[in-house]
Structure 1
């Protein structure tokens, strides 16, 4: 049973199985397949295909140890360039965004806007990654969220259902709802990890996949 229709966790699980044999493939092949697959999925706006080439691309990046080897100067330049393009893309999307109420999960009436926004995701993702790499030390306050990703994902899905019971909301309401969810998840993750070593769902998964029976959620 899925909390939301088309919940991405199901797709991630299937792609994860496909990804296992890819871990032994050579780096050049992984990089090529990852880039080509990402470009094809983005240009054709076939969203359900995108996670797999991105996962493969992530494997290639890890094998090449790009984040460990990239220089601070290159990252800074990447932040500036991607930031400039991100501002332009954001202004473009704001200008073409529907002004009337939108339905969550990309209704047919907003398919054109959704497709154009989807095709611009590499710009924002590039900026996002560059900022994380460049200012990693200043972003340490986000570590608790990263330590309990599954709990946060399921939690934000539940919060979304509670805060937006209606299918029709405005863009402003969507932004406000997202901001509230982020703040709640941020606070809850910090409070939880002050008392426990793992998120609740992360502990359940580790317990179920560990050969030894894990202890109850261990306190720090």
Structure 2
């Protein structure tokens, strides 16, 4: 195996990953604890419905896009370092599938196992296709699924292909030169996301299952969040925010899995599962409080950990399996982007 110089980290993507990790946590808590969205048939808990419009389906697409993007960056790196780059990716995805399978026992509906399956079944074969075909398949898969199947895990293949195309067309490496493009997309996405969110909010809950409202609103919301954050990161305030989000993003796998453990440990004390049949505003206040507590704790611990180590604990194991050799552990000035 060849040992070339590692690609520098792309700090914006680390911050975006950390931001998405924070947003998806709210949804994870009510999924893991089984909190209900309705008090009785047709009567929605207002706070939950509002939180759904703000969080549900907005951050999962960002994660899916980033997964495809990271796949492409690692494949390029592997092509420079070994004669069998797809074997490196297959080993990485196989390890992720094992982690996801274990994690699924505690968090049904988690994302790691679907990502691993999509990576093995779709991204690996698609990596040999022309860029235009990958982009077209990603757009078609995302839009068609959103309009016909209502989103959810079914959108993962299309979004991952879009992430692969994003890297292939050089967008991942040239964010610093694309300020006006990001701004133009945000100018479209923000009002579109507001209108779509209103459409979702005003759609009766029992009709959302047969309506594309949630999926369309989720995609537009994700686009607005993503481009809005990328613009914010260019400001002085964004630079401070990035210092908080980047460590979370660099340890996203460890933080995602550990958050499940923290939710399960906190749930008996908060009684969120006990509120499944009678959830009210106080229960969702407790949910938000738990989310904030986990984010603050993980932000502090991630920053402290990365002062001494290059990778989070699970990231270190994952990287070692990927390259089939012990990864260096101690922190250094430069590290890889994926």
TM-score range, shorter chain: 0.7 to 0.9
Q: Could you tell me which residue of structure 1 aligns to residue 59 of structure 2?
A: none
Q: Could you tell me which residue of structure 2 aligns to residue 82 of structure 1?
A: 189
2:242 to 115, 122, 140: 140
Q: Would the alpha carbon gap of residues 121 and 17 (structure 1) be closer, same or farther in structure 2, given more than 3 Å must change?
A: same
Shift of 1:92: 5.0
Distance 1:97 1:177 in 2: 29
Deviations 1:46-98 (A, max 9, x none): 52221111111111121112352763223223223322233344455555687
Shift of 1:4: 0.7
Shift of 1:219: 4.6
SS of equivalent to 1:66: coil
Q: Could you tell me which residue of structure 1 aligns to residue 169 of structure 2?
A: 64
Higher relative contact order (CA 8 A, sep 6+): 2
1:47 to 145, 152, 157: 152
Q: Could you tell me which residue of structure 2 aligns to residue 208 of structure 1?
A: 321
List alignment gaps of at least 5 residues for structure 1.
99-108
Distance 2:257 2:151 in 1: 24
Distance 1:158 1:114 in 2: 34
Distance 1:8 1:186 in 2: 21
Distance 1:190 1:95 in 2: 41
Query: Contact 2:199–2:213 at 8 Å: present in 1 too?
Result: no
SS of equivalent to 2:307: helix
Q: Could you tell me which residue of structure 1 aligns to residue 7 of structure 2?
A: none
Map 1:1-220 onto structure 2 (within 5 A).
Answer: 1=102, 2=104, 3-18=106-121, 19-43=123-147, 44-67=149-172, 68=174, 71-91=178-198, 93=200, 112=209, 116-137=213-234, 138=238, 139-141=241-243, 142-165=245-268, 166-167=272-273, 168=276, 169-170=279-280, 172-173=284-285, 174-214=287-327, 217-219=329-331
Distance 1:201 1:114 in 2: 38
Distance 1:175 1:48 in 2: 24
Shift of 1:112: 4.2
Deviations 1:1-23 (A, max 9, x none): 32211322111111111211211
Query: Contact 1:147–1:198 at 8 Å: present in 2 too?
Result: yes
Distance 2:301 2:164 in 1: 31
- Give me the TM-score of the superposition, normalised by structure 2: 0.54
Distance 1:194 1:110 in 2: 49
Q: Would the alpha carbon gap of residues 96 and 179 (structure 1) be closer, same or farther in structure 2, given more than 3 Å must change?
A: farther
Query: Contact 1:155–1:185 at 8 Å: present in 2 too?
Result: no
List alignment gaps of at least 5 residues for structure 2.
1-101, 333-338
